[in-house]
A and B are shown apart, each in its own frame.
Chain A
Amino acid sequence: MRIEIVQLENIRSHTKTTVPFSRGFNCLLGGVGCGKSSVLYSIDFALFGDPLGRSFEYLLREGAEKCKVTIQFTQNGNTYVLTRGLHRRGKSINQDFDSLKLFQDEKLIASLKTDAISEQLKSITGFDRDLWREIVWVRQEHLKELLDAAPRDRQRRLDELFGLSDYELAWSNIAQYVRDYETENRVLEKDPDVTSKDKLAADYNRITEEYTLLELELQDSEEKFAAARHFLDEADMRLKHFEEKRIAVEELKRKETRLHTNVINVEEAQAAVTDRLEGKKTILDNLRQRQSSMETQINTCLDRLTQVGVQPDQSPEVLRRCLMDFDEKISNLKGEQEATSRAMQTDQKRVSQLSTETENQCPLCLQTINSEYKSGMIQRINIENADRQRTIKQLQSEIAELQRAKAAASEALANLQNLTSRVEDLKARAAEEETNQQSLVTELSEKQKAYTELGEQLEAVRLEIGRFDLSELDEARQQREQAFREFYATESDLKTKNNRRKDLLLRLEDVRERIDQSQQKLERIQKIQKSVQVLGSIRDAYRSIQPKLRSEFVKVLRNFVQQVLDSLVGGESPMLNIVVDETYTPYVKSESGVHREVANLSGGERTLLAFAYRLGLGQLIMQSRTGHGLGMLLLDEPTENLGTEDGSIARLAEAISRFKAIEQIIAVTHSEDFAEKAGHVIVLEKEAGVSKASIAKGE
């Protein structure tokens, strides 16, 4: 950290002063009350905003309502500007947070809150308030304060500054955690999960084993079950088969009955047919007889016809004509007879006429005839008539004969015709009957065939029925029953095992969980034990590190102080050998080896030693706290007890100017001799109660 500019507004004797600083050794030079220290106060205020005493009364210019400090500093190549102000509120003076601002390279990075600013500052510069006030800023009259403090007090304060007291605090605070752990451990050790861990482990193994065995058994059972089911299925199938067979047999039996009925029916039908056949035969025989008798009649008729002169073997036409011939003949004959009879009658009439007296006329010729003649005529006529009578008689007999013949012939013919038709009928009937007979025969043979077939069928059915063994069905039933029992038994076994398996798995899960818990708790116990042990170690370490580190610090401190002192004392004066003890108390070791207390040194020597001690401490503490050395030092009147005459002031200034390790030193002094060695001198003067700053040396 390097401060570039400090600007004070209404701070103590300053109304508005701008003080520039540069790298290296800066000196604020001025007489008493010129406002030199105010600059340092202002820097402290700007950085931390904390009053040195109880109030900010020491900062705010009398009569002013508000004041403000602006400082510009650089760190790691960045430029920071920090402003902080105060304002009066009634009787009290408070920070004016509105003016609290921190810029990094003109960018606002924090404002309004002191905490935020402090945090930023610490991270930027590594300083906090304590470090600043104890180490960086060496206030007037405070240079020798540490030296003069009681050893115990010094040790405490320095341990704190070094950060060593933290270890002590940590050591005492960590005890509680150890106790907590131990309590937790005791509780855990009594935890049933932990105490029964062996049992749990045994349980786990036992259950796992049981489960494994069960799983194996289960597989067997499953196989058995599958087999039982298979058997059952088979038995079912078999039973079903037999049942079907039984039903089939019943069907067969019904069929048998049916067939049997059919056979009887067929038998009966056969008998009926045979009867009918017999009937038909009789009928046929009758018909045949009738036919033959008719044929005899026909022959008789034919004979008669032949007798009457009709050729019977002629067509009916011819035969009818023959009959008509008869009629013709008869009618001819009748006509002849008629004619004859008429001639006779005529003749008789004539006779009668003739015989009658009067008439003597020829009837024929109407000529009168004589009696003789008449008589002769009468006679002849009579003879003729007698002839004619005979002829008529003959004709009559002929007619009668012919009529007889005709009657016979026509009768015969009629008979013949009748008979012929009847014979035809008979023949037709016979043929019909024969056909019937034939069909009956066929029917009969069919019936016979059917009978045979039915018989065979019946035989087959009976055989089939006979073949069916009821005991097989019973056996199948029993087998099925047995298979079912087996199936049921294996099924329930499987169910039981499955249930057990489920149960075991649950238990396994449970035990596993409990083991996990137990394991977790056990691990926790192990962890706690380890923690307690480690905590013990850490505690021991905390305990032992303080003296250990302190002795190291002391060693380095001595080295530091010696180096600084050597450079301060310069070549001419006798060397002061420094020894530092465990309370950080420095002694001067004379050449003879005697330790001299600091109090016994001369004022000048003490100032030099104090300065060296402060510087050494500062370096070391900064180093231990931040890892890097002191970069800045504010000194307020460090020349106390030093004189110009012996050159000790000049020597101190010279030495300070040589401290290149510290980037910036700002010293407040009234000694011009001191200021002469500085690279940058700002002179502060007071005019009319107002401080003014001017650069006397440097840029």
Chain B
Amino acid sequence: MHAADLHLGYAQYGLEVRRQDFDNAFNELVDKTIELKPDFMIIAGDLFHQPRPSNVTLENAIKTFKRLRDAGIPVLTVDGSHDSAPNSITSTILYPLDSAGLIHHLPRHEGACWTKPGCCYVYGIPNYRTRRKTEEALLQFMQQNPPSPDQSLANVFVLHGSVDLPGMKPPYIEAELSPALLPDGFGYYAAGHVHERYANDFKRGVLAYSGSTETVSYDEARSTKGFYHVKVSEKGEFKYELVELTSPRRFVVLEQEYSGMNAHKITEQATRLVKDADEEGAIIIPVLKGILPAEASRTEIDVAHIRGAAEKALMVHPIVLLKESAVSDEVVRGIFEGEFKDLKTKAFEYFLQIFNERYSREEAEKVARAALALIEPLTHKQEEKVKQTLEELAK
């Protein structure tokens, strides 16, 4: 049984109902798992949405895990980008659950593995959040806990993170794991982090993302939610099969192109669209795309009106992706045409040059911009503004 990205405790849109939705999905998942009676269950990260879940969420998780324990199904976990150790202060919340004997948190145990004699070898790695940290720390981790797949057994590798493969869309900007970082010799790479289901050949086995169990973000709403029921044949072939969940909440995503319409008309059309799509208990997401006419602003769209269009739906959550018309070319040319750059531009370039030696490009730009922005308030003794700028800089 391979599941991932349960995101327990996520009160999406600030709704308690949504938090319960995630709990419900987990309960259904466990019901189905107990029915299927697998040898073990893998949760490939992001069991919780927060590193320190609320009491209610924790309680439900404990109760549900107890059912699995009573049913004799071991639960093997790794930490995810959401529930890994949040900082230097605390470990992941999965540690105490492991200590209490509810789950077996793979990276915590010696060898980072779990074996069932004559059956399988399961190895799991922790989550390091960013590509840079992953590259630094993962090799070290695997040196301390060398993966040792046994070819007479079914070998499973558990990870949370997007593997840098063509055709895979990572949830964040970049994929954290280059395929080269992952060891060979495993028949099934049970992965989490990518919320859209994915399964394909990888190395000499299969890399599978079972996807999220509830809709974490509207753009993943289209795919059905579920988990993989994985069977290993006598020959050691992994066969995976999707088990769908029925409890996840219904999402209605209304993507529409509105180019050429004015704000009023867009509001009107989106409202009508929402009204037509109104459905009991659903979450309706009108996505407004396109380019606004010149000098029109996104703020002119009456989002509240669109929100109020549905009566039966749990909520309407409009997403305005409308682009405002570009600034006219003349103005742009005017800015860059001068033969000489002004002092600020010069200073900025110089700062950038200095800071580039100490910081990443992005960071250097930020600091350079701040250094420039600070001049005015610093020379004019505008303390508040200085502090504000400094605080923003440290974010």
Please report A residues at the B interface, Cβ cutoff 8 Å: 162-164, 166-167, 169-170, 173-174, 177, 181, 197-198, 200-201, 204-206, 208-209, 211-213, 215-216, 219, 505, 508-509, 512, 515-516, 518-519, 522-523, 527-528, 530-531, 534-535, 537-538, 540-542, 544-545, 548-549, 552, 556, 619-620, 623-629
A629 x B339 contact (CB < 8 A): yes
CA A163 – CA B346 in complex, angstroms? 12
- The residue that B90 contacts in the complex, of A204, A540, A552, with Cβ under 8 A, is A204
Q: For chain A, what secondary structure do more than half of its interface residues adopt (helix, strand, loop), or is it mixed? A: helix
B100 x A212 contact (CB < 8 A): yes
**Is residue B52 contacting chain A, with contact meaning CB distance below 8 A?**
yes
**Is residue B96 contacting chain A, with contact meaning CB distance below 8 A?**
yes
**Is residue B351 contacting chain A, with contact meaning CB distance below 8 A?**
yes
Q: How far is the CB of A638 from chain B (nearest CB, A)?
A: 24
**Is residue B358 contacting chain A, with contact meaning CB distance below 8 A?**
yes
A624 x B90 contact (CB < 8 A): no
A205 x B96 contact (CB < 8 A): yes
Known: A211-B96, A509-B55. 19 other contacts (CB 8 A): A164-B343, A166-B375, A167-B347, A167-B375, A201-B91, A205-B99, A209-B96, A212-B100, A515-B52, A518-B89, A531-B394, A534-B370, A538-B374, A545-B350, A620-B340, A623-B340, A624-B342, A627-B338, A627-B344
Q: A512-B52, A545-B350, A627-B341 are in contact. Are A174 and B89 (CB under 8 A)?
A: no
B96 x A544 contact (CB < 8 A): no
Q: How far is the CB of B346 from chain A (nearest CB, A)?
A: 6
Smallest CB-CB separation from A219: which chain B residue? B66
Q: For chain B, what secondary structure do more than half of its interface residues adopt (helix, strand, loop), or is it mixed? A: helix
CA A518 – CA B66 in complex, angstroms? 32
Pairs A-B, 9 closest by C-beta atoms: A627-B342, A212-B100, A208-B96, A624-B343, A209-B96, A170-B378, A527-B394, A623-B340, A531-B394
**Is residue B299 contacting chain A, with contact meaning CB distance below 8 A?**
no
Q: How far is the CB of A563 from chain B (nearest CB, A)?
A: 12
B379 x A169 contact (CB < 8 A): yes
Q: How far is the CB of B372 from chain A (nearest CB, A)?
A: 10
Residues of A within 8 A of B344 (CB): 627
Q: A515-B52, A627-B338, A629-B339 are in contact. Are A545 and B347 (CB under 8 A)?
A: yes
Chain B, interface size category, equals 35 or more
Q: How far is the CB of A597 from chain B (nearest CB, A)?
A: 28
A-B contacts, 11 listed (Cβ < 8 Å): A169-B378, A170-B375, A170-B379, A181-B390, A205-B90, A205-B95, A209-B100, A216-B66, A538-B351, A538-B367, A538-B374
**Is residue B265 contacting chain A, with contact meaning CB distance below 8 A?**
no
Q: A209-B99, A538-B370, A629-B340 are in contact. Are A522 and B89 (CB under 8 A)?
A: yes
CA A115 – CA B87 in complex, angstroms? 52
Smallest CB-CB separation from B61: which chain A residue? A212
CA A36 – CA B291 in complex, angstroms? 57
Q: A166-B375, A211-B58 are in contact. Are A623 and B338 (CB under 8 A)?
A: yes
B52 x A204 contact (CB < 8 A): yes
**Would you list which residues of chain B between 329 and 356 have a CB under 8 Å from chain A?**
335, 338-347, 350-351, 354-355
B338 x A629 contact (CB < 8 A): yes
Residues of B within 8 A of A219 (CB): 63, 66
**Is residue B156 contacting chain A, with contact meaning CB distance below 8 A?**
no
B350 x A549 contact (CB < 8 A): yes
B354 x A201 contact (CB < 8 A): no
A625 x B89 contact (CB < 8 A): no
Q: How far is the CB of B104 from chain A (nearest CB, A)?
A: 14
Q: A209-B96, A527-B394 are in contact. Are A541 and B63 (CB under 8 A)?
A: no
**Is residue B393 contacting chain A, with contact meaning CB distance below 8 A?**
yes
Residues of A within 8 A of B95 (CB): 205
**Is residue B102 contacting chain A, with contact meaning CB distance below 8 A?**
yes
Residues of B within 8 A of A624 (CB): 340, 342-343, 346
Residues of B within 8 A of A530 (CB): 394
- The residue that B91 contacts in the complex, of A205, A538, A540, with Cβ under 8 A, is A205
Smallest CB-CB separation from A620: which chain B residue? B340
Residues of A within 8 A of B338 (CB): 623, 627-629
Residues of A within 8 A of B30 (CB): none
Residues of B within 8 A of A164 (CB): 343
B89 x A541 contact (CB < 8 A): no
Q: How far is the CB of A215 from chain B (nearest CB, A)?
A: 4
CA A209 – CA B95 in complex, angstroms? 8
Residues of B within 8 A of A531 (CB): 390-391, 393-394
B343 x A549 contact (CB < 8 A): yes
Q: How far is the CB of B112 from chain A (nearest CB, A)?
A: 19
A623 x B342 contact (CB < 8 A): yes
Q: How far is the CB of A247 from chain B (nearest CB, A)?
A: 45
**Is residue B86 contacting chain A, with contact meaning CB distance below 8 A?**
yes
Residues of B within 8 A of A528 (CB): 394
A534 x B367 contact (CB < 8 A): yes
**Is residue B62 contacting chain A, with contact meaning CB distance below 8 A?**
yes
- The residue that A541 contacts in the complex, of B58, B66, B354, B391, with Cβ under 8 A, is B354
- The residue that B87 contacts in the complex, of A177, A508, A522, with Cβ under 8 A, is A522
Smallest CB-CB separation from A168: which chain B residue? B379
Residues of B within 8 A of A170 (CB): 374-375, 378-379
Smallest CB-CB separation from B62: which chain A residue? A215
Smallest CB-CB separation from A178: which chain B residue? B390
Q: How far is the CB of A95 from chain B (nearest CB, A)?
A: 26
A200 x B371 contact (CB < 8 A): no
Q: How far is the CB of A124 from chain B (nearest CB, A)?
A: 15
Q: A522-B87, A527-B394, A541-B355 are in contact. Are A173 and B378 (CB under 8 A)?
A: yes
Smallest CB-CB separation from A529: which chain B residue? B394
Residues of A within 8 A of B97 (CB): 208-209, 212
Residues of B within 8 A of A211 (CB): 58, 62, 96
- The residue that B58 contacts in the complex, of A208, A537, A538, A548, with Cβ under 8 A, is A208
Smallest CB-CB separation from A527: which chain B residue? B394
Q: How far is the CB of A197 from chain B (nearest CB, A)?
A: 5
CA A528 – CA B393 in complex, angstroms? 10
Residues of B within 8 A of A174 (CB): 374, 378, 386
**Is residue B381 contacting chain A, with contact meaning CB distance below 8 A?**
yes
- The residue that A177 contacts in the complex, of B100, B339, B355, B386, with Cβ under 8 A, is B386
Residues of B within 8 A of A167 (CB): 347, 375
Q: How far is the CB of B93 from chain A (nearest CB, A)?
A: 7
Smallest CB-CB separation from B357: which chain A residue? A537
**Is residue B59 contacting chain A, with contact meaning CB distance below 8 A?**
yes
Residues of B within 8 A of A545 (CB): 347, 350-351
**Is residue B200 contacting chain A, with contact meaning CB distance below 8 A?**
no
CA A508 – CA B351 in complex, angstroms? 47
**Would you list which residues of chain B between 379 and 395 have a CB under 8 Å from chain A?**
379, 381, 386-387, 390-391, 393-395
B91 x A166 contact (CB < 8 A): no
Residues of B within 8 A of A198 (CB): 89
Q: A173-B378, A519-B86 are in contact. Are A215 and B358 (CB under 8 A)?
A: no
A538 x B371 contact (CB < 8 A): yes
Q: A215-B59, A528-B394, A629-B340 are in contact. Are A197 and B89 (CB under 8 A)?
A: yes
**Is residue B217 contacting chain A, with contact meaning CB distance below 8 A?**
no
Q: How far is the CB of B358 from chain A (nearest CB, A)?
A: 6
Smallest CB-CB separation from A198: which chain B residue? B89
Identify the interface centre among A166, A181, A206, A537: most chain B CB within 10 Å of its CB. A537
Smallest CB-CB separation from A205: which chain B residue? B96
Smallest CB-CB separation from B347: which chain A residue? A545
Contact with A along B134-162 (1 / 0, CB 8 A): 00000000000000000000000000000
Residues of A within 8 A of B343 (CB): 162-164, 549, 624-625
Smallest CB-CB separation from B387: which chain A residue? A177
B350 x A548 contact (CB < 8 A): yes
Residues of A within 8 A of B347 (CB): 167, 545, 549
CA A530 – CA B391 in complex, angstroms? 10
Residues of B within 8 A of A166 (CB): 375, 379
Contact with A along B55-76 (1 / 0, CB 8 A): 1001100110010000000000
A537 x B88 contact (CB < 8 A): no
Q: How far is the CB of A266 from chain B (nearest CB, A)?
A: 69
Identify the interface centre among A174, A200, A534: most chain B CB within 10 Å of its CB. A534
Q: A205-B96, A626-B342 are in contact. Are A540 and B89 (CB under 8 A)?
A: no
